[in-house]
Structures are given as structure tokens and as C-alpha cells.
Amino acid sequence: MPETTSLAWFRRDLRLHDNAALAAACDADRVVPVYCVDPREYGDRPFGGPDSFDFEKTGAHRARFRLESLSDLRASLRDRGSDLLVREGRPESVLPEVAAAVDADVVTVHTRPTPEESSVESAVETELRDDGVELRRFWGHTLTHVDDLPMALSALPDTYTTFRKAVESAAEDADADAATGRGSARVGDSAVGDHVGRNSSGRNLAGRDPLSEPTVPPLPRDAPDAGDLPAVSDLVGIPDAEFDPAPDDRGVLPFDGGETAALDRVASYIWAGDNLREYKETRNGLLGADYSSKFSPWLNEGCLSPRYVKAEVDRYEDRRVANDSTYWLVFELRWRDFFQFQFAKHGRDFFRREGIRERTDIDWRRDDAQFERWAAGKTGIPFVDANMRELNATGYMSNRGRQNAASFLANDLRLDWRRGAAYFETRLVDYDPASNYGNWAYIAGVGNDSRDRSLDVRWQAKRYDENAEYVTTWLPELDALPAEYAREPWKLSEDEQASYGVELGVDYPEPMVDLDER
Ligand SMILES: Cc1cc2nc3c(=O)[nH]c(=O)nc-3n(C[C@H](O)[C@H](O)[C@H](O)COP(=O)(O)OP(=O)(O)OC[C@H]3O[C@@H](n4cnc5c(N)ncnc54)[C@H](O)[C@@H]3O)c2cc1C
């Protein structure tokens, strides 16, 4: 038998555990792991359509996290006698070159349902096909495999609760069948099997276990030079001198990139810290490392598999406690799944201002000055500003913060929600197209919910930051104020401003809208 050679094309799956694409690549005799730094993912890009605007695709926080993740993956592969080739260039140019250099037969990759990502896959597939090389796609970034959904993608419910209940009850039925020896249900008409490369013949409704790490063969001798990783300043629009890699000590976590740090975080959050038992009660917090899991950056760059997280939750339930909190972490992971499948169903429609609901009744405005105030955390509404300043300083914002910052832009200011979403795209360390645009559309009322999702940010601040500890952490200029005024400084009289030493319009902005008029 002639030797077979594969390229394991890494994208946002920067891990060795539960990696179906890597495992399949390792079926070949020779394996060359490759990562392409695609120039389209960096620098300024236009957001098309009416009222087009420019935004930076990837900011410094995510670029740093990604480069650390690549460095960690390369180190793990080197420990196993292999390596990670890193090339700057479009995958559809780079991969055929590397494939030709090592005489590869096949390239394996994890597919993504979002339009930009899947169009790159198609371009790569076309170029490779011309050279007689096969591209094999795998689905591996959700908790439920796309082939295991209890409905066809075209019939996917557009509301989360309906989706979740269908997935949960299919899993319960499958578990019951397994217990009575009837085996799990299998359905032949795999809804999107072709799309992902027919790696499943039936559905595993109970859910799949994470795959163990494959044995990666040593890098072939004729493999090209591994190449250097770029620096953050090569990728983002800030000069070296201005990039401060030191984490802000007010941030919730330093967020070190890579699979090693991801597995450490799972161990410390779930096991050492024993935080999972209270997750449901603490998850709306704003300050500190452990009010929520903080798994999102690692999940989104693929350093962590959601199935691994679920397996750890199951183990925790067996060994420590099974309660509402342990259920709720999986409930949130299903939200993540939901948006991935929604994008697989609706595609580009999610990026339209009118959204998948085709709402033409909302009068979206454009006001660059107002947008800049929101982005800089200078709206004069402390709860919004503190969250935006945390985002800018650290790349992270709590879920509670994201909902309020987004609702303020979309529902109070009525500025084009996509501009806010694009700003999050630049800044978030955990940005994912489906989770980000899906959540933004939801809050703006053009996504997966027909109900009004606008939030009263004053009420929210009182409910979730009663002592104003959060706002004064990020807005130290309000530190001298009693909590009520730190949350709503526009209520200060002139005399009170003088006595506390906080002058509105000088030390902290006047509010840019009158929330009482809403
Ligand atoms: C406007 C807006 C934009 C958002 N953009 C993103 C984004 O780009 N990337 C991202 O991962 N999440 C996004 N979210 C969802 C959520 O805010 C984050 O996943 C969460 O804050 C991450 O912190 P955590 O890992 O501690 O979450 P936890 O509370 O510990 O939740 C565990 C995991 O569940 C998933 N999850 C939780 N809530 C959601 C949700 N509403 N939608 C989808 N997945 C969820 C995440 O993977 C998260 O890591 C956004 C939410 C809003 C309101």
C-alpha cells in the first residue's frame, strides 16, 4: 500500500482533545498540521449593505488570545514529535501549496455554519479539487452534533425553548431506550450529512462522548519549515508601543490562550473552586473570576470542546451534586448551539438590519457622535459606561453587561444594532459570529424572539449592582458618590456635585439621553 498523507487544517479548533478533524487526519500515515493566518480576518473591513460602515475585524485582545492558543498548540504538537506549520495567507492559496509540497491526498477541517467561514471552505475545496486533493469537513464545535438534531435544519424551531425541549426530550428518550436495551434511535435521512462530509450514518440522540486525543505521527521529513507566529502588532491596528499585553487587574481573568489554560480553567472552576454547584445563583454577577464559567474565549477559539465540558458536568453530577446549577451550565451551552444551528439555517439573513424577522417597521438611526460615545463608555449612564470600559480594557464583558450595553444602543439610542455588534466583533476576546450577531439581533427585536427585549438600564443597575461596586470599579471618578448617585449621577444637585467633588459634564458626562422620557 502506498503511504497516505493528510493535512490537518486547524482553524477555530485549536485543541488535541475531542478533535474529529485531527483524528481523521491521523488515520493517514503522514500528517502535516497547518494553520493559516488569513489576512481577511484582520484590519479594517466594510460592513456592507445600506449605511455601510468600516470596522476592524479583530482587535488586540482576541489577536493576543489566538496567538497564545496557536503557540500552545504548537508546543503540544512538538511534544508529540510533530509541529504546526503557520503561514500568513488565504487558505485557498496556502493549502494547495503545502499539499503539493508534501504530496497530500486529503485535507481535514472543522466546518463552520457562518457565511464567511463556509465560503473560505468552499474556495479551498475548489482549489484542492483541481489538484486532486480531497477536503473532508467535520462538524465539531457544538454540544449536539448537527447530524444528531432531532429535526432537519430546515425545520429547526426559531425559538430557543422549543429547540431546547426537542433536543432534551430526544436525549431523554434515547437514554430510556438504552436503559431498556432498545438502543438509541437512528434515522437514516441525515439532514446535513453532505454538508459536513457524511461522517455519521444515523443520529445519536443521547449525545456523543468527547473523542480522545489521537496519536499524532511525527512531522514528515519533507514537510516545509514550520514558520514563525506573527506578533499581535502585525495583526491589529495599534503600534507595538501602544499595545499593552499586561492584563488590567480589574479584569475578571487574564484569559491565557490555549488548550492547556482551557483545561486548567475547567478544572479550577468546576473542581478546585467547586463553583458549579452555585452557577445558577451567581451567573448574573459582574465582578470576579467565578460568578460564571468564563469558558467562552476557549470555546470560541476551539481550545475547549463543549462536549468535554458536558462530560465534566456529568462527572461532577456523579461525584458531587446534580442540581439546577449543573443543569443550567448545559442549558447555556445549548443557547450557544441554538445560535450555531440558527446560522446554519438562516445564513446571511442574520446580518441584515431587518434581521431574520424582516422587520421594516423600526427606524434605525445613524449618528456617529452618539455611537462613539457609546463605544468609548462616555454615555453618562454609568452601568452602560462601566461595561463598555471593561470591554475596551479587557476584551470581556459579563452576559448581564452585554445585554444592557446592547439594549441601550439598539433600543434607547435606536442606532443600527449591527454597528454595535461589529464593535463587539472587534473587541471581544470570545467573539463568535453566531453568538454575537444572534444575541444582538435578539435584543434589537429582529432575531429569534418576537417579544420586546429592551431593558431598563436603571432598573438593571439597581438590581445587579445595588452597591455600585461594579460601576465604581470601572468608573473611579464616581467613587466618592453614595451608591444611588454613582448609579444615577444625573440626580445630583449642583450643591451635591460641589460637596462630593464630582462635576457633571467635567468629571463625568451628562447623560446623552433622558431615560425618564422613554
Ligand atoms: C449582545 C451579546 C453579545 C454576545 N456575544 C457573544 C459572543 O460573541 N461570543 C460568545 O461566546 N457569547 C456571546 N454572548 C453570550 C454570553 O454573554 C457569553 O457567552 C457569556 O457572557 C460568556 O461568559 P461565560 O463563559 O462566563 O458564560 P457562562 O454563563 O459560564 O455560560 C457558559 C457558556 O454558555 C454559552 N453561553 C452562555 N450564554 C449564552 C448566550 N446568550 N448565547 C450563546 N452562548 C451562550 C457560552 O459558550 C458560555 O461560555 C453575547 C451575549 C449578548 C447579550
Ligand 1 in reach of 138 Cβ (< 6 A): no
**Residues 12-26: tens digit of each pLDDT:** 999 999 999 999 999
Binding site listing for FAD: 279, 292-296, 332-339, 430-432
Ligand 1 atom closest to the Cα of residue 428 is: 8
Please tell me the class of the 5-140 domain.
alpha beta
CATH number of 146-206+256-346: 1.25.40.80
Give the pLDDT of residue 64: 96
Ligand 1 in reach of 336 Cβ (< 6 A): yes
**Residues 208-228: tens digit of each pLDDT:** 999 999 999 999 999 999 999
Give the mean model confidence (pLDDT) for residues 414-426.
97
Q: Kindly report the protein residue whose alpha carbon is nearest to atom 19 of ligand 1.
A: 296
Q: Which of 238, 262, 296 is nearest to 58 (CA)?
A: 238
**Ligand 1 mean position, distance from CA 296 (Å):** 6
Ligand 1 in reach of 431 Cβ (< 6 A): yes
Quick one: pLDDT band at residue 186, thresholds 50, 70, 90? very low
Give the pLDDT of residue 318: 98
pTM listed for this prediction? 0.95
Mutual angle of helices 399-407 and 457-464, in 10-degree steps? 160
Ligand 1 in reach of 436 Cβ (< 6 A): yes
**Ligand 1 mean position, distance from CA 172 (Å):** 25
User: What cell numbers appear for 382 in the block?
Assistant: 454609568
Give the pLDDT of residue 185: 39
CB atoms within 10 A of CB 216: 21
Give the mean model confidence (pLDDT) for residues 329-341.
98
Give the pLDDT of residue 240: 57
Q: 135-156 b/e with 16+ CB inside 10 Å = b?
A: bbbbbbbbbbbbbbbbbebeeb
CATH number of 368-500: 1.10.579.10
**Ligand 1 mean position, distance from CA 398 (Å):** 8
DSSP 8-state secondary structure symbol assigned to residue 322 = -
Ligand 1 in reach of 437 Cβ (< 6 A): no
Quick one: pLDDT band at residue 452, thresholds 50, 70, 90? confident
Give the mean model confidence (pLDDT) for residues 107-114.
96
Ligand 1 atom closest to the Cα of residue 306 is: 47
DSSP assignments along 477-497, one per residue: GGTTS-HHHHH-GGG--HHHH
User: What cell numbers appear for 428 in the block?
Assistant: 471581544
Q: Are 85 and 35 in contact (CB under 8 A)?
A: yes
For a pocket test of ligand 1, which of 334, 435, 442 has the largest count of ligand atoms closer than 8 A to its C-beta?
A: 435
DSSP tally for the chain: helices H, then strands E:
21, 7
Give the pLDDT of residue 48: 79
Specify the pairing of strand 53-56 against strand 30-37: unpaired
**Residues 391-417: tens digit of each pLDDT:** 999 999 999 999 999 999 999 999 999
pLDDT at residue 383 above 80?
yes
pLDDT at residue 187 above 50?
no
**Ligand 1 mean position, distance from CA 482 (Å):** 32
**Ligand 1 mean position, distance from CA 300 (Å):** 10
Give the pLDDT of residue 242: 64
Q: What are phi and psi of 367, to 5 degrees?
A: -150, 100
pLDDT at residue 335 above 60?
yes
For a pocket test of ligand 1, which of 430, 448, 455 has the largest count of ligand atoms closer than 8 A to its C-beta?
A: 430
Q: In angstroms, rounded to a whole number, what is the distance separating the alpha carbons of residues 229 and 83?
A: 13
Q: Kindly report the protein residue whose alpha carbon is nearest to atom 21 of ligand 1.
A: 399
User: What cell numbers appear for 406 in the block?
Assistant: 446592547
Report the mean per-residue pLDDT for the chain. Answer: 93
| Residue recorded with cell 457562518 | 114
pLDDT at residue 201 above 70?
no
**Ligand 1 mean position, distance from CA 16 (Å):** 23
Ligand 1 atom closest to the Cα of residue 299 is: 47
Q: In angstroms, rounded to a whole number, what is the distance separating the alpha carbons of residues 168 and 179?
A: 17
Ligand 1 atom closest to the Cα of residue 300 is: 11
**Ligand 1 mean position, distance from CA 226 (Å):** 34
Ligand 1 in reach of 260 Cβ (< 6 A): no
Q: Kindly report the protein residue whose alpha carbon is nearest to atom 43 of ligand 1.
A: 336
Of 62-66, 175-179, 207-211, 360-364, the poorest mean pLDDT is in 175-179
Quick one: pLDDT band at residue 182, thresholds 50, 70, 90? low
Binding site listing: 279, 292-296, 332-339, 430-432
Q: Which of 136, 182, 145 is nearest to 25 (CA)?
A: 136
Q: In angstroms, rounded to a whole number, what is the distance separating the alpha carbons of residues 232 and 37?
A: 12
pLDDT at residue 70 above 50?
yes
Ligand 1 in reach of 396 Cβ (< 6 A): no
Give the pLDDT of residue 247: 84
Ligand 1 atom closest to the Cα of residue 339 is: 43
Residue 225, Cβ density class (10 Å: 0-12 exposed, 13-18 middle, ≥19 buried): exposed
Quick one: pLDDT band at residue 239, thresholds 50, 70, 90? low
pLDDT at residue 244 above 80?
no
3-state secondary structure 255-272: CCCCHHHHHHHHHHHHHH
**Amino acid type, 129:** R
CA-based R_g, the chain, Å: 24
Quick one: pLDDT band at residue 205, thresholds 50, 70, 90? confident
**Ligand 1 mean position, distance from CA 435 (Å):** 7
**Ligand 1 mean position, distance from CA 116 (Å):** 21
* Residue 379: its H or E element: none
List, in order, residues 6 or more apart from 10 with CB less than 8 Å away: 22, 33, 34, 35, 73, 84
Give the pLDDT of residue 189: 30
For a pocket test of ligand 1, which of 61, 296, 299, 415 has the largest count of ligand atoms closer than 8 A to its C-beta?
A: 296
Ligand 1 in reach of 305 Cβ (< 6 A): no
Q: Are 281 and 327 in contact (CB under 8 A)?
A: no
Q: Which of 377, 381, 362, 386 is nearest to 513 (CA)?
A: 381
pLDDT at residue 123 above 60?
yes
Q: In angstroms, rounded to a whole number, what is the distance separating the alpha carbons of residues 347 and 463?
A: 36
| Residue recorded with cell 466618592 | 480
Q: Kindly report the protein residue whose alpha carbon is nearest to atom 18 of ligand 1.
A: 399
**Ligand 1 mean position, distance from CA 301 (Å):** 13
Give the mean model confidence (pLDDT) for residues 461-490.
98
Ligand 1 in reach of 333 Cβ (< 6 A): yes
Quick one: pLDDT band at residue 190, thresholds 50, 70, 90? very low
Q: Are 121 and 135 in contact (CB under 8 A)?
A: yes
**Ligand 1 mean position, distance from CA 297 (Å):** 9
What is the residue extent of each domain of the chain? 5-140, 146-206+256-346, 368-500
CA dihedral 461, 466, 470, 475 (to 10 degrees): 70
